[in-house]
Chains A and B, each alone.
Chain A
Amino acid sequence: MEWQAIWLSLRLSFWTTLILLAAGLPAAYWLTFSRRKWKFLVEALVALPLVLPPTVLGFYILLAIGPHSPVGRLYAALTGGMLPFSFEGLLLASVLYSLPFAVQPFASGFAAVDRRFIEASWCLGVSRPATFFRVIVPLSIPAIFTGMILSFAHTLGEFGVVLMVGGNLAGITRTVSISIFDDVQGLNYQSALHTSLFLLGVSFVVLAATYGLRRRVWAVWPMS
């Protein structure tokens, strides 16, 4: 079994989920409550990773973060390193790839909060941002939890984007799914079997725990 790859995937999933929590909450808030006419365009953009082949997404990300791109140059100037085929590059790609899996459950959770609670808070003199943290977020905990679980699980199993952006560098970018692919290519079926079984087990336990902890009707597939 590829413990190094498993540890890398878990780290990648953890950081991706954390970043998506920080970035996804304000994004979902804007998507839920903004009255901009062009909001639907942003909604479509956020949902793109759901339908785009991971190779296409990975290809564009690779171009966008390459050493000659503005992002790549900025990153090189700041850190001296390069994003493609690095853990940080992989993290950025994972965040983009799993974006809808966090934002959509968050947004549907926010939309389900009774507007009267929000208005009551405003009339009690509490600002909009404070109302978000004191009323909307606490009343959306199940949805936020769902979004985090989905982001984590989705990142754990990603393959195409990793291959395009991260390649296959042991300890740096070789995730569980890549290592399984690698093992199968090298006819190392025993190792592939063990790692696959582990991934299956972890995924099932995570999802079962989600359903078991809070017996509510949540969509496992993100829906808006």
Chain B
Amino acid sequence: MADELIVDIRKRYKGGPEITAALSLPLGKPQVTVLFGPSGAGKSTVLRAIAGLEQPDAGSIRCAADVWYDGARAIHLAPQKRRVGYLSQDYAVFPHLTVKANVAYGSHRANADGLLARFELTGLADRYPRQLSGGQLQRVALARALARQPRLLLLDEPLSALDAPTRLRMRGDLRQLLAGFEIPAVVVTHDRTEALALGDSVAIMIDGRLRQAGAVESVFDGPADADVAEALGVETICPAHVVSRSAGLVTVEIGHARLVAVDNAGPHPDVFVCIRAESVTIERNPSGNPTSARNHLPSRIVSVSPEGPLARVVLDCGFRLAAIVTRQAEEEMALRPGEPVTAVVKATSIRLVPR
């Protein structure tokens, strides 16, 4: 049997929701598991419980053959004995020690110089943390955690303490760094792009519960329910009623509008229709030529709001449908609130989840 980290815990804070989490991840291959969900969902608590900084109320945490926590047997292994690398949100680089002393802190035998070189910190070895930038602090914290050769890396919102340009740059760097060390990692984030950029697999946590887990693409393309779809940032989520099913396609009704979608929700009469804004095309004058898209919805523009190089357009086509277009397209087509347009959605871009 391959070595696994198996977490199955419950924890309740006074006045808060109960946090339950059951997940397992393979320790053999160096893959990154993203624990994703909105703020306050309990992601950090799960991470801290794995690190040993938080004691669950019940359940168990096992790492390969070792029991780290077992509520029934009153086992709670100290963080010192778990050999995990834990990075808190703001890295907690010791302010009274130099970069080199920070990296060598946990392990006297560690090859601090090698790690400094690998993390491009050699020139900063004698600096103090207050003289470093956010990105540099993150590298120091990572090097320090890796000096102990942990079995597992735990990163709590690793990019949230950085300013926006640094965050963009570090997202790619972090992915490469994590891939370079043969250590499995769990990364907590509430940012969708971060989850996509960093993760091999993802576990979605909402309101203290683990709702869906799997490979990143399969979870992002196929949310299991409306809550997960919302957490993943799917802009349009509407309750709909199935009218007919045939040949793998399904026709659903939302108010007076009808949509054709690929039947992927199972035999449920009531579903949620999930449509990403980037899958919606807006047409001014229907050409009448046949197109591959199955859904052409006569709509009226409700609002147009610019978002950098893009514009978010909300349409009323019997239900509220969000679309995202370039500013260029918006100007060329002169999209203004109140005007009639046609919304085009491919049947394959509609995700149905059971209601």
A interface with B by C-beta (< 8 Å): 114, 116-117, 119-127, 134-135, 138-139
Contacts and interface: CB of A to CB of B under 8 A. Distances in A.
Contact of A116 (B79, B90, B144, B145): B90
A123 B51 contact: yes
A164 B95 CA distance: 47
B117 interface: no
B86 interface: yes
A123 B85 contact: yes
B88 interface: yes
Given A124-B148, A138-B96, 20 more contacts: A114-B92, A117-B95, A119-B86, A119-B88, A119-B92, A120-B86, A120-B88, A120-B141, A121-B94, A121-B105, A123-B80, A123-B86, A124-B105, A124-B106, A124-B145, A125-B80, A126-B105, A134-B105, A139-B95, A139-B96
A125 B52 CA distance: 12
A124 B112 CA distance: 14
A219 to B, nearest CB: 22
Contacts of A119: 51, 53, 79, 86, 88, 92
17 contacts: A116-B90, A119-B51, A120-B86, A122-B52, A122-B78, A123-B51, A123-B52, A123-B145, A124-B105, A124-B107, A124-B144, A125-B80, A125-B83, A125-B106, A125-B107, A125-B148, A135-B94
A114 B86 CA distance: 16
Contacts of A124: 105-107, 144-145, 148
B92 A120 contact: yes
Contacts of A139: 95-96
List of 8 A-B pairs having minimum Cβ-Cβ separation, nearest first: A124-B106, A120-B92, A123-B86, A116-B92, A122-B79, A138-B96, A116-B88, A123-B79
A138 to B, nearest CB: 5
Contacts, number: 57
A165 B92 CA distance: 49
Interface of B: 51-53, 78-86, 88, 90, 92, 94-96, 105-107, 141, 144-145, 148
B interface SS class: loop
A121 B144 CA distance: 10
Which among A123, A127, A139 has the greatest number of chain B C-beta atoms within 10 A? A123
A186 to B, nearest CB: 53
A124 B52 CA distance: 12
Nearest to B80: A125
Contacts of A126: 80, 105-106
A122 to B, nearest CB: 4
Which among A114, A116, A120 has the greatest number of chain B C-beta atoms within 10 A? A120
A131 to B, nearest CB: 9
A121 B148 CA distance: 12
Nearest to A141: B96
A124 to B, nearest CB: 3
A151 B94 CA distance: 29
Which among B51, B85, B106, B145 has the greatest number of chain A C-beta atoms within 10 A? B106
B55 to A, nearest CB: 12
